[in-house]
Structure 1
Amino acid sequence: MRYTLRQLEVFVAIAHEQNLTRAADRLAMSQSAASSALKDLENQFGLQLFDRMGKRLQLNEQGRLMRPKAEALLAQARDFEQSLLQHAEAGPLNVGATLSIGNYMAVGLMADYMKRYPQSAITLDVGNTRHIVDKVLNYDLDVGLIEGEINHPDLEIIPWREDELAVFCDRDNPLASNSTNLSDDDLRNAQWILREAGSGTRQAFDRAMHGLLPDLHIALELQHTEAIKRAVEAGLGIGCLSLITLADAFRRGSLIRLDVPARDFSRQLYIIVHKLKYRSAGINAWLELCQEQSDNHE
């Protein structure tokens, strides 16, 4: 074989970091050793994988074509090593989830995964839809759980669970005494506290409010669901979040659900995986758990 796994590791690390020094640090190598590994790989096949721009190394077209194949080979090698070392069915797994899913659903899935595969490490990265999509596309995450609707040629997008947004206010809000059948005028007159642009929740809200958005008074845009709930409880306005994030507050009565029958707040949750990502035993085990949860939810 005319290449080594170490050379592929160096190539992938540099592709990710776009900097030789950071890539070497990531692999616990000296800079000279990492540089030699890359040069040996390129010289062995008579090609150049990066454009050199000062200290920055930018993947060229040849490098972009090779990276997914290198990522897949390394993932297979790690999976094989995991089986040899631990005789485990699933190895390390890096999961990403959007905020509502990450804070209210993914932890339970992680607990189930760790019970089934106690020797397998798992990490969770929580962010908005744009953040998770970018991480999956860059191979930083093995799988993502997202709320937003996307369309990307490099991603496999798997429908997962049905969800619903809910409009809500605090107990002292005048709308709370007449919480049914809110009209478009009620929505126009309210002060809104919403998630930021780029989040799946905001995307679903904007779709539900089609035709009315220019007339809405958006007082605050916040990145965290808990911050929005606290701001609404403080009487700063009304909000709209996933029902799964509000169930406890509705039961306690600290927040009041408002009925908006003229608007459709239903939405789909999705699982995303890079199409060229090697489906390790860990990824397959995670997808199976997600499907089980979806079946139980139904």
Structure 2
Amino acid sequence: MKWDIPITLFERIDFKGPLMRFSFRQLEVFLAAARFQNITRASEYLAMSQSAASSALKELENQFDIQLFDRVGKRLQLNELGRLYRPKAEALLAQAQELEQTLSRHSEVGALKVGATLTIGNYLAVGVMAQYMNTPTRPKVALEVANTHSIANRVRAFELDIGMIEGELQSSELEVIPWRHDRLVPFCAPEHPLARRKQLTDDDLRRATWIMREQGSGTRQSFERGMQGLLPDLNILLELEHTEAIKRAVETNLGIGCLSEVVLADAFKRGSLVPLPLPEHRTFERQFYFILHKQKYRSAGIDRWMELCRAL
């Protein structure tokens, strides 16, 4: 839009019926004619032909059976009706221009609905939320924490804007974008017999009592991939949904566990838990991912969220 008349009154115009009976172009012609009091100069200002400008103004008046100008030769003089509607038209076009500029920038971040698996949701996402919301518009973030399967289903149904998962996923409807590397670490209480071992063997892993995440979690999926060949022989005492419950059970020496290094960092620093050295031929490396619906519009908010996550 080219309109630069200063705004004197912000008022809304209420329209009856499903469609507006005028166009913004007609309003631009009306305001330009009011400013220049001449349709030729108004058309030049709007970079349109004189006949097109004259037709637009005439159509606006005919649609509502009104007259906005007193016509004296080539001069257009606003009448009382034109003076009444001029500030309303100015306000409406100013709001339209503001919206047009906002849509063109694609830069304002808004409220987001984020889904995250347990490790990511409890140990990484909250810090990202604080940064995302600490902007002038104060956008809100709704965070849902669940397992990989649940988060994928919610993204697939457009109930979440973006998901953050720690498990492998194959879906024709979802875009799976690598985010950051992670590593699972076996661990035990400091007084556990295995805590004194410099290197574990597969036999040590078979004889150990395990406290594990539940089936279907990304952590369990990565653990089973790393323990390939040993799974039928493992002694799994407990399967728990919450990482803190697993850590507490291991601290009381009920068994050993295997969780993300993100989850265990503070406990290792305090010495309440200790890492166990895996057999050299076994690895628990894995990847965290963003997931988006392939038909989902990539808004500025989604891009900003991903940017903050990558900066962790």
Shorter chain as denominator, the TM-score bin is: 0.5 to 0.7
- The gaps in structure 1 that reach 5 residues or longer are 5-79, 294-298
- The gaps in structure 2 that reach 5 residues or longer are 1-17, 19-98
1:164 to 179, 183, 205: 183
Q: Which residue of structure 1 lines up, in the alignment, with residue 289 of structure 2?
A: 270
**Coordinate RMSD, CA, aligned:** 1.8
Q: Which residue of structure 2 lines up, in the alignment, with residue 176 of structure 1?
A: 195
Q: Counterpart of 2:134 in 1: which secondary structure?
A: helix
Q: Which residue of structure 1 lines up, in the alignment, with residue 139 of structure 2?
A: 120
Q: Which residue of structure 2 lines up, in the alignment, with residue 287 of structure 1?
A: 306
Q: Which residue of structure 2 lines up, in the alignment, with residue 200 of structure 1?
A: 218
Contact 1:161 1:269 (C-alpha < 8 Å) held by counterparts: yes
Q: Which residue of structure 1 lines up, in the alignment, with residue 149 of structure 2?
A: 130
Scaled by the length of structure 2, the TM-score of the pair is 0.65
Larger Rg: 2
Count of residue correspondences: 211
**1:19-168 equivalent positions in 2, closer than 5 A:** 89-116=108-135, 118-168=137-187
Distance 1:140 1:117, change over 3 A: farther
Contact 1:110 1:122 (C-alpha < 8 Å) held by counterparts: yes
State the distance in 1 between where 2:208 and 2:257 align. Answer: 10
Letter in 1 for 2:298: R
Contact 2:112 2:140 (C-alpha < 8 Å) held by counterparts: yes
Q: Counterpart of 2:311 in 1: which secondary structure?
A: helix
Contact 2:107 2:300 (C-alpha < 8 Å) held by counterparts: no
Q: Which residue of structure 1 lines up, in the alignment, with residue 4 of structure 2?
A: none
Letter in 1 for 2:141: I
Q: Counterpart of 2:216 in 1: which secondary structure?
A: coil
Q: Counterpart of 1:116 in 2: which secondary structure?
A: coil
State the distance in 2 between where 1:159 and 1:139 align. Answer: 20
Runs of 4+ off more than 4 Å: none
Give the CA deviation at 1:190.
Answer: 0.4
Q: Which residue of structure 1 lines up, in the alignment, with residue 258 of structure 2?
A: 240
1:216 to 227, 234, 241: 234
Contact 1:96 1:126 (C-alpha < 8 Å) held by counterparts: yes
Give the CA deviation at 1:197.
Answer: 0.8
The answer to whether structure 1 residue 252 and structure 2 residue 267 are counterparts is no
Letter in 2 for 1:120: P
